[in-house]
Structure 1
Amino acid sequence: MSRLILASGSPRRRELLVDRLGLDVVVSPADVDESPRHGEAPAAMVQRLARRKVSAVEAEMEDLVVAADTVVIVDGEVLGKPGTPDKARLMLQALSGREHSVLTGVAVKLGPKGASGVDRTKVRFRRLSPSEIQWYVDTGEPLDKAGAYGIQGIAGIFVEHLEGSETSVIGLPLGRLAVLAQSVGASLTDYRRTGT
């Protein structure tokens, strides 16, 4: 029986597939080096990393493997996961009152067939006060998220305008994923949960 394997440990990506789409998903995080290459463009990097993740997961020929990688870009600088409260604070200050881009690379693999693409979404934050930034950092939510925020969480109140896919900003553009799956001969509807 074929399976949909998510090559990511991200709870947000799993929630999009399981809770939003109602799919039956096997989570199998890929262990790959996510370091950028010297001079590599952000779009090329997220697509390369998504491809590496699908290739790193053990799967049967009939399994659809899905992977993604997301970065936030402001002023040409890539903002990854901050990891510390101080870095999160600096990132949020850089995003305050400005537009930034979110790039998500997506890759799928079904047997020998593979496909990948990059989704770009523009997000504008309203101007944030120092106390709002500190309050958000104190929640701990920004520490493990690209660009130090999760649009599906508390940081949704910071967003003034969004142009593109909200699910891409969360970490997995569902529309692009469906198209990529079709291009390798799969349909996401084949992986719906049955019964309870």
Structure 2
Amino acid sequence: MRLVLASASPARLAVLRAAGVEPVVRVSGVDEDAVAAALTDPSPADLVTELAKAKALAVADAVHGEYPDAVVVGCDSMLITDGPTGREVVGKPGTVERARDRWLAMAGGTGELITGHAVVRLAGGTPAKVAQGVEGTVVRFGRITAHELDAYLASGEPLNVAGGFTLDGLGGWFVDGIDGDPSSVIGISLPLTRRLLGEIGVSVVDLWSRGA
């Protein structure tokens, strides 16, 4: 049985490889805005799990012929912080301006990274079982100087990651600590993924590569 990662994230791929799994990588191409628009007043947890499920199901449909017996894992994350108008949900900044505003608001404070996962088990090319869940991790952000922030923004790293930061890259210099699962902050929670795999009858050890 193969694990198919429904994500182009190099960080998620690195986490799985370090944990003994060599996944097949496929990108879902899901229209995230359309999925979100179809939901009625979703909570952050609902939103990330529904996005993760949409990605996993789309990839399962794309690979069912090539990998008829596999598990497909979809992921999505977003950051919740305290803003001037209350709790704010923050996705990928996309632009330098938004990333700068985000860092100026959250430096020296905390946020909760919400990570949603969905796993789909393919059996004979058919989605036989689906499980989904969410993990929350508190992130404590350090104070960042103007020079450091300019350099970080110029790197391009914070523009296309949830919350505008990473733990395993350049952003790790500006995170004072976390309370929770580090792999969840990087992008794929190993404890949550193991639990969800168990719900669909798959042991994670059966997915380990031979060299693990």
Same fold (TM over 0.5): yes
Q: Is 1:91 matched with 2:102?
A: yes
Give, in whole Å, the separation in 1 of the partners of 2:153 and 2:56: 32
Contact 1:54 1:65 in 2 (8 A): yes
Structure 1 residue 194, shift from structure 2 partner: 2.5
Aligned equivalent of 1:51: 53
For each residue in 1:135-190, what CA deviation from the matched residue of structure 2 results, as whole angstroms up to 9, or x when unmatched?
Answer: 21111111111111111111112112311111111111111101110110112221
Give, in whole Å, the separation in 1 of the partners of 2:156 and 2:22: 30
Q: Is 1:31 matched with 2:29?
A: yes
The one-letter amino acid of 2:185's match is: V
Where does structure 1 differ by over 4 angstroms across 4 or more consecutive aligned residues? none
Give the secondary-structure state (helix, strand or coil) at the position aligned to 1:65.
strand
State the Cα RMSD in Å: 1.6
Q: Which runs of 5+ in 1 are unaligned?
A: none
Give the secondary-structure state (helix, strand or coil) at the position aligned to 2:77.
strand
Q: Is 1:3 matched with 2:6?
A: no
Q: Is 1:100 matched with 2:111?
A: yes
Aligned equivalent of 2:130: 114
For each residue in 1:23-54, what CA deviation from the matched residue of structure 2 results, as whole angstroms up to 9, or x when unmatched?
Answer: 12100111112123352211100000111111
Structure 1 residue 129, shift from structure 2 partner: 1.9
Return the match for 1:177 from 189, 193, 196: 193
Contact 1:61 1:110 in 2 (8 A): no
Query: Which range moves more in the overlay, 165-174 or 31-40?
Result: 31-40
Q: Which runs of 5+ in 2 are unaligned?
A: 123-127
Q: What is the percent sequence identity of the aligned residues?
A: 39
Give the secondary-structure state (helix, strand or coil) at the position aligned to 1:157.
helix
Query: Which range moves more in the overlay, 116-125 or 180-189?
Result: 180-189
Give, in whole Å, the separation in 2 of the partners of 1:162 and 1:61: 39
For each residue in 1:62-84, what CA deviation from the matched residue of structure 2 results, as whole angstroms up to 9, or x when unmatched?
Answer: 21111110101112211111121
Compute the TM-score of the two structures, normalised by the length of structure 2. Answer: 0.86
Return the match for 1:40 from 39, 42, 45: 42
Aligned equivalent of 2:125: none
Compute the TM-score of the two structures, normalised by the length of structure 1. Answer: 0.93
Contact 1:142 1:148 in 2 (8 A): yes
